[in-house]
Each structure stands twice: as C-alpha cells, then as structure tokens.
Amino acid sequence: MSAAAPDASARSGPPSTLGSVPGSWMQAILMSRYQFRDFLRSRRFLLMVGIVGAIGSILLSLVGYYRPATLLANSNTFYANLWVGGAELLIIFAGIIFGGDAIAGEFQNKTGYYLMSHPIKRWSVYAGKFLASYAAALVTISAYFLILVGAGGYFFGTGALTAGLLGSYGLAILYLGGLLGVTFLFSALFKTSLYGVIIVAVMFLFGFSIINALFEGLVGLQPWFIITWANEAISYPLTGAPHTAGLLVPKAYVPPTLAQGIAVMAGYLVFTTLGGLWLFEREEFT
C-alpha cells in the first residue's frame, strides 16, 4: 500500500514573500538605518565628534587648571554652567550638520527623483531621514554628556550623576527634536542645501534673539512662541525656575516656566515636523 499523499499545504511550503513591498513604517525604519550608517561613516560625523571633543577638552582643561570655587561648589552648579550652555550650542551645530541638507539634498542632487521611482512613500523617506538625523545628533550630544559626567565624577565623586542632570538631559533631547523639526521644515522649503543651512544657522545663532528683543522692546509682548525663549527651561532641573518665570510684565523679559518651556519645545517638534512633511509631500522632483 502506498504512503498517504502529503497534505497540500505541506507540499506548497511556506508562502513566498518574493517581490513583496515592506510596509510604510518598515520602509521608514530601513531608511533611517541606512541613513544613520551613512552618517557614522561621513566626514560630518567626524567633524561633529571633533567639535564635541574640542569644546569638552577646552572647558575641562580650564576648570581643572583654575578650579573656580563658585563653579565647583556643587555638582548642579557645575552642570548648570558647563552642560546647559555647551549642549545648547552643540544642538544647533548637530541640527545644522545632520539635518540641514536632509531633504533639500534630495532635490538638489536629484536623488529624490530616482528614489521616488520605487514603491516607497514620501512620508517614509521623510520619517527615516528625520529619525536618522535625530539619532546621529543624539550620539554626539550624549558624548558631550558622558564627558561631563566623567568630569563630575572626578570633581565630586559618586554623586556626579544627579536627577537634575538627567532631567536637563531629557529637556535637551526635546529641544534637539524641535530644532530638527525647524531644520527639516526649511530644508523642504528651499530645495537647496546651502539656503536651508544658512537660514537655520542665522535664526538659531542670533535671529531669534533679535526677534525676542523686538517683541519685548517695541511690542511689549513675551516671545512665548519662540523656541530659543523656551529652551531656558533646560537649566531648571539644575537651578530651579526663577521666581519671575511666567509672569506677564510689559516691556520686560520674563523667562518661561518649566511647563511653558516643555510645551513650546514639544510644539515645535510636532508642528514644524508635520509642516516640513506637508511641503515634502507636495514638492515636485524635476
């Protein structure tokens, strides 16, 4: 008697996935993975690492040599002076270096024309590039963070890693997201890498400060809608919020409360990112 015929499903084997297209989120993850790998191998990443190393070594050399009593009074004072200001500056550089041409480069170099010929959604490309830029910038900011934690351990012993420092680090990550959102928005708007980089550099280095001064002196309003006003909250976990924070004082500068700072930075992250995506979805590759 012959053996029983094998089941039809067994004969057919597992269903073939040859030629299947990954879902939108998987496309975004794959895009971010390859883009992040390219960042790690690029000269811009080495440049950013060099900037972090230079800033960290210069600051710590000066502190180690002069040992200012006010700066070394306690760990929170140490971090409030070295971490907050240094992180804000590095975040601007990282946003420009990793995000300035992320979208504009697709138009300028014509790579987007060939990329869009494949079955991949535009928002997957945008999300993948955003996540890769965020991750690359976060690596460099975290390197500076670890340098200062190591220095704090040298100066203050086992109490170097404080809850205040971790809270400030979290707010810095939020600020980085808001800045990248603005960077991607301008990158999608201008289609030229140079224009996007210049606009973001000008706005964050001194443009927003000029707008702050104009609104305070001429209009008499608090510049609550500007991210560089909100980023002062990064120092609050270390120093505490000023007693004047959030007060409505005409013709005077008033810092944000912690809640206001978080809300504005989160708003920039969400709305500028979505605005850049909206522009990218509607631009034509020529």
- Could you tell me the sign of the dihedral formed by the alpha carbons of 116, 119, 120, 121, in that order? positive
Per-residue pLDDT of the chain (286 residues; tens, 9 = 90+): 444 444 444 444 444 444 566 777 888 888 889 889 989 988 989 989 998 989 888 888 888 888 888 888 888 889 999 999 889 999 999 998 898 877 777 766 656 555 665 667 888 889 999 999 999 999 999 999 999 999 888 888 877 788 999 999 999 999 999 999 999 998 888 877 788 788 888 888 888 888 887 877 777 677 788 898 899 999 999 998 887 776 666 656 788 899 999 999 999 999 999 999 998 888 766 5
The answer to whether the CB of 83 falls within 8 A of the CB of 148 is: yes
For the question of whether the overall pTM of this predicted structure is more than 0.75, the answer is yes
Sorted by where each begins, the domain ranges of the chain are 24-282
**Residue among 228, 32, 200, 178 nearest 100 (CA):** 200
